[in-house]
Amino acid sequence: MTIDERLDRLTGIVETTAGFVATLTENVGRHDAAIGALADSAGRHDAAIGALADSAGRHDAAIGAITEALGKYEGILKALAGSVAAHDDAIEALISISEEQGRRMEKLSQETDKYVKRSIALERQFQAYINTLRRQ
């Protein structure tokens, strides 16, 4: 495989990696939006719970219904907490992937620099060879 072919292959790998990073970044953005929507929904639920609590203070009969509703909201909040924890884990995994990609990119950059230097040296050798042909 020639140096140019290797450089082309490395370029393809780098471009593919950049595409993966962009896709992962978009996924994180969508997850952040979903969490924001869930937080807004939780805020609306909190307002509803406050209204129910006022009503329960006025009516003993409503206290049982509010207690039941709070149990449902507790399950939702626990599920939301689980989602947030899973999102945090996903972010940590993405950070880890990003760090690994950074290390790989640095290694590829170093290897590319080596190939460029080798190419320059070969070009000089070839020019020196050509110069000897002209004299003959």
Q: Which of 2-6, 85-89, 119-123 has the lowest mean pLDDT?
A: 2-6
What is the reported pLDDT for 57?
67
- State how far the alpha carbon of 13 is from the alpha carbons of 5, 80, 102, 111, 127, in Å: 12, 38, 13, 13, 32
Residue pLDDT, tens place only, 90-135: 999 999 999 999 999 999 999 999 999 999 999 999 998 988 886 6
Statement: residue 38 has pLDDT above 90 = no
